[in-house]
């Protein structure tokens, strides 16, 4: 029995399902989750000392690769002076200033400890600011696990959402409206029916939780206009795309100014950090300036701030995103060519350091199209790649990530291994 298998068995006696976040359990792909021991740069080593080229990057934060020496040095240095004070430190100001400089739509920003907290708090402030109840989200977009957001579309086009998890009261879900990503007409209809009670629209500007779906031209612009017309707050959830698809996030790429932005993952460089921020007149409503309550014992934690500060400094290096985008697009082109050669239908895309590949012969632009892809093929491909020492996200609805530490050789090596796996899939 492998050590990963032993650990998984042991973990299940004390941790629900053996994991602290469900996707880690390999439920969709089957088999035993890999337990990791260490990471360095583009590589991970598991508990059995097998090496992998990693394309999960801790689900996005590891944009510099694992254990970046400068990040580790900063974290260790700060840790020597105390792990947490629950009182303000200069590091919080420095990180906030850096975030503001990189994301110009943010006038004021508050640090939290996860993406879930960031989106939950952004929604509360949007509701408090507008005095309205409803939020509009998109099917297939994930914004963390708070009650209002664990909601899927109801049975009729204009009906209220239904909880996707027991424990979320239908009374909460009824305030969540669910529209289809890339379908502006659908959003418009919901606004026509409920516009005067819609506090906010929350959207992943590039959807990374239904594989990877980019916005059609005009979609994000249309959301901006509808929010302006109806006095609703537009929230870009850039927990995944922030500092990942470009230095100024998806809003920089598409040149759209949301009212609020949520951040996470890269901003903490691997430490538990999230943030939400935006227009001064909205953020000023937050306690202690205003009446809307939000707080956190470990928010702005000095060790986490240190990791974030170094990470945001390093991503400003000249040509950082050009190089990252070139490697990521080469990886996807390599997958595409290899799959075509093997006769396996595949559709790929990438933006910056984020990528997605779909087992389909069509371009994928919606949740329905994404969920219709060949999951069985994905499962086989995942395990073939895992066997070959390539760690991909263990679920077909997750985006993948390339880091600055991936070398051209790592990318070419991955393509060679993928070619072999596509051939095996076809045979």
CB of 202: closest distance to ligand PLP in angstroms? 9
**Two tokens, residue 50:** 């097998």
Catalytic entry in 98, 134, 265, 327: 265
Identify the residue among 139, 237, 259, 410 touching ligand PLP (CB under 6 A): 237
Asked if residue 114 binds ligand PLP (CB under 6 A), the reply is: yes
Interface of this chain with ligand PLP, residues 117 to 156, rule: CB under 6 A: 119, 142-144
Measure the N-to-C terminal CA separation of the chain; round to a whole number of Å: 29
CB closer to ligand PLP out of 35 and 59: 59
Interface of this chain with ligand PLP, residues 310 to 369, rule: CB under 6 A: none
Task: Round to whole Å and give the CA distance between 360 and 347.
Answer: 6
Helix locations, 19-89, DSSP H: 69-79
Asked if residue 209 binds ligand PLP (CB under 6 A), the reply is: yes
How many residues make contact with ligand PLP (CB under 6 A)?
Answer: 16
CB of 251: closest distance to ligand PLP in angstroms? 14
SS3 content of the chain, % helix, strand, coil (to 5): 40, 15, 40
CB of 343: closest distance to ligand PLP in angstroms? 33
CB of 264: closest distance to ligand PLP in angstroms? 5
Residues 6+ away with beta carbon under 8 Å from 215: 181, 182, 205, 206, 254
Decide if 52 is catalytic. no
**Two tokens, residue 259:** 């009212």
Taking residues 38 to 77 in sequence order and writing x for each that binds ligand PLP by CB under 6 A, - otherwise, the string is ---------------------x------------------
- Three-state SS for 16? helix
**Two tokens, residue 78:** 């700060």
CB of 118: closest distance to ligand PLP in angstroms? 7
Q: Which residue is nearest to ligand PLP (CB)?
A: 115
Sign, Cα dihedral of 335, 337, 341, 344:
positive
Task: Round to whole Å and give the CA distance between 132 and 261.
Answer: 19
Helix locations, 210-272, DSSP H: 219-230, 249-254
CB closer to ligand PLP out of 57 and 65: 57
CB closer to ligand PLP out of 123 and 411: 123
- Three-state SS for 277? strand
Decide if 142 is catalytic. yes
CB closer to ligand PLP out of 276 and 422: 276
CB closer to ligand PLP out of 211 and 346: 211
Asked if residue 398 binds ligand PLP (CB under 6 A), the reply is: no
Task: Round to whole Å and give the CA distance between 410 and 390.
Answer: 10
Residue 342 backbone phi and psi in degrees, to 5: -85, -10
CA nearest neighbour of 195 among 149, 159, 226? 226
Decide if 237 is catalytic. yes
CB of 241: closest distance to ligand PLP in angstroms? 7
Q: Using CB under 6 A as the criterion, which residues of the chain lie in contact with ligand PLP when the complex forms?
A: 59, 114-116, 119, 142-144, 204, 208-209, 237, 239-240, 264, 274
What residues are annotated to the active site? 142, 237, 265
């Amino acid at each position: 029995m492998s050590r990963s298998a032993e650990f998984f068995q042991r973990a299940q006696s004390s941790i629900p399902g053996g994991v602290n976040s469900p996707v880690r359990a390999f439920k969709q792909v089957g088999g035993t989750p890999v337990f990791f021991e260490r990471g360095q740069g583009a590589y991970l080593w598991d508990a059995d000392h097998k090496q992998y080229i990693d394309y999960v990057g801790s689900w996005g934060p590891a944009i510099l690769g694992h254990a970046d020496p400068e990040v580790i040095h900063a974290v260790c240095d700060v840790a020597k002076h105390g792990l947490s004070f629950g009182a303000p430190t200069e590091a919080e100001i420095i990180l906030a200033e850096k975030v503001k400089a990189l994301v110009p739509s943010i006038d004021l920003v508050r640090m939290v400890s996860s993406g879930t907290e960031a989106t939950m708090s952004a929604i509360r402030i949007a509701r408090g600011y507008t005095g309205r109840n409803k939020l509009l989200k998109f099917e297939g977009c994930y914004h963390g696990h708070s009650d209002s957001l664990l909601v899927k579309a109801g049975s009729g086009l204009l009906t209220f959402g239904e909880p996707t998890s027991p424990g979320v009261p239908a009374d909460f879900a009824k305030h969540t409206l669910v529209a289809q990503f890339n379908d502006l007409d659908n959003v418009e209809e919901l606004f026509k029916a409920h516009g005067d009670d819609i506090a906010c629209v929350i959207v992943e500007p590039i959807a990374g939780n239904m594989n990877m779906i980019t916005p059609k031209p005009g979609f994000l612009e249309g959301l901006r206009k509808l929010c302006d017309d109806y006095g609703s707050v537009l929230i870009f959830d850039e927990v995944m795309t922030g500092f990942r698809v470009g230095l100024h996030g998806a809003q920089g790429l598409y040149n759209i100014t949301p009212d609020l932005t949520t951040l996470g993952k890269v901003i903490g460089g691997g430490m538990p950090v999230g943030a939400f921020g935006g227009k001064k007149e909205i953020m000023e409503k937050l306690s202690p300036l205003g009446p809307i309550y939000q707080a956190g014992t470990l928010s702005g934690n000095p060790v986490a701030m240190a990791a974030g500060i170094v990470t945001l400094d390093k991503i400003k290096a000249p040509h950082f995103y050009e190089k990252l985008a070139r490697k990521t697009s080469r990886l996807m082109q390599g997958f595409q060519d290899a799959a075509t050669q093997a006769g396996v239908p595949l559709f790929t895309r990438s933006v910056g350091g984020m990528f997605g590949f779909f087992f389909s012969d069509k371009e994928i632009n919606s949740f329905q199209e994404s969920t219709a892809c060949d999951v069985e093929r994905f499962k086989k491909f995942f395990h073939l790649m895992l066997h070959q020492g390539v760690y991909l996200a263990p679920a077909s609805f997750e985006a993948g990530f390339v880091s600055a530490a991936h070398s051209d050789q790592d990318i070419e090596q991955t393509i060679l291994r993928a070619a072999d796996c596509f051939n095996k899939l076809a045979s």
